[in-house]
Amino acid sequence: MNEKKKVIYYNMAGDLDYENQLLQEWGIKDLELIQVTGNNLIVDVKEAESLTLEYTQVDADVMKNLPNLKIIALQSIGTDEIDIDCADREGIYVTNAPGFCAYEVASHVMALILNLNRKIGVYDEAVKNGEWAPFSGNKIERLQGQTVGLVSLGTIPKALIPMLKGFGFNVVFYSPSKTDEDAKRLGITRCDSLNALLNISDIVSLHTPLLPSTKYMINETTLAQMKEGAMLINTARGELIDESALIVCLKSNKISAAGLDVLIDEHNHDSKLIGMDNVIVTPHVGFLSKQSLLDARRVALEQIVTRLVKVTRPDTALNKEMLTVR
């Protein structure tokens, strides 16, 4: 009898009932799903042929010391913690779950925009404190006719576009890999540069992945390019923004408000942005719904089955330069 291939879920919350149910429905019998907890990845998952984890660095040292590892299957879009270049050299596929939470994050962007504009939280707190003063706050601007600038044009901003149009926004975007044909198909306007987008947008929403080229892309210089009183939304990665520079602009009202689902340091929760009157911070929750979590788990398991059972390249593999496969 062939030994089952070891599929390790490392420090992942919950059980694997859903995954085991899927395997049964798919008729897959040669995978063993194992939950492992610990704090020494190399020691804890030595025999892993597949690895699913989150918020854990997987670098060259880890990969070289897991000789059986053939795939790292993430239940997320971002892959910040994985050294994909090393995975290429080691012949290990790295997969993610693109688009699994596009609707949820797009909805979260809309919620942040509407809350900041309509001051829902401010008025709710005032009423709970016994104040019934609808004209006590700053004046509220009509959203209809304002311009929202989308930085990048992946699955999340594409899900956001019809929501924005439904509220009467003009939509522009900047993405080096997209063309005027993409813009025409979506009924929006392409900007030739980030600065061009910042110059004309009343609201800027960040959706780009965190790369060396995008780290701190919103900084003192680019913030200066934004319209006076513009709003900034970030549901992507905290390190896209130089928080010190943003704080200065928020205090001066150069930036009227910010809606942030991500911060640079999401462990200590000590950012000065938390508690500012014109900032909403949520705890990296934009992706969340019961349905999105199940979608991510299913997609990750599909990649594992493709690699370990069908022995072919997974559909969502991110490897670009892999020459040999383990």
Asked if the domains at 5-99+290-308 and 102-281 fall in one CATH topology, the answer is yes
Counting beta carbons within 10 angstroms of the beta carbon of residue 55, is it exposed (0 to 12), middle (13 to 18) or buried (19 or more)? exposed
Question: Which tens digits make up the pLDDT trace of 229-242?
Answer: 999 999 999 999 99
Q: 59, 69, 60: which is closest to 7 by C-alpha?
A: 69
Q: Report CA 43 to chain centroid distance, whole Å.
A: 30
- Check 131, 141, 266, 269 and give the catalytic one: 266
- Check 108, 190, 207, 237 and give the catalytic one: 237
Q: Please give the model's pTM, rounded to 2 decimal places.
A: 0.90
Residue pair 160/186 in contact by the 8 Å Cβ criterion: no
Domain ranges of the chain: 5-99+290-308, 102-281
Task: Please give the sequence-ordered ranges of beta strands (E in DSSP) within the chain, or none if there are none.
Answer: 5-10, 31-36, 50-52, 71-73, 93-95, 147-151, 170-174, 189-190, 203-206, 230-234, 255-260, 279-281
**Can 237 be counted among the known catalytic residues?**
yes
Q: What's domain 5-99+290-308's superfamily in CATH?
A: NAD(P)-binding Rossmann-like Domain (3.40.50.720)
* Among the four given CATH numbers 3.40.50.720, 3.50.50.60, 3.40.190.10, 3.40.190.80, the one describing domain 102-281: 3.40.50.720
- Check 54, 81, 89, 284 and give the catalytic one: 284
What average pLDDT does range 177-202 have in this prediction? 97
Residue pair 303/73 in contact by the 8 Å Cβ criterion: yes
**Can 207 be counted among the known catalytic residues?**
no
Strand pairing class (31-36; 189-190): unpaired
Per-residue pLDDT, 1: 52
Q: 281, 275, 235, 233: which is closest to 251 by C-alpha?
A: 275
Q: Report CA 301 to chain centroid distance, whole Å.
A: 20
- Torsion angle of C-alpha atoms 140, 143, 144, 148, degrees rounded to 10: 150
What average pLDDT is seen over the chain? 95
What average pLDDT does range 201-224 have in this prediction? 96
Per-residue pLDDT, 138: 67
* Backbone phi, psi, residue 18, to 5°: -65, -45
**Can 108 be counted among the known catalytic residues?**
no
Kindly state the tokens that stand for 230. 């513009």
Question: Which tens digits make up the pLDDT trace of 104-150?
Answer: 999 999 999 999 999 999 899 999 999 998 987 668 999 999 999 99
Kindly state the tokens that stand for 288. 């969340």
Sheet architecture: strand order including 230-234: 189-190, 170-174, 147-151, 203-206, 230-234, 255-260, 279-281
Of the pLDDT bands very low, low, confident and very high (cuts 50, 70, 90), residue 268 is: confident
What is the residue whose two structure tokens read 């947008």? 201
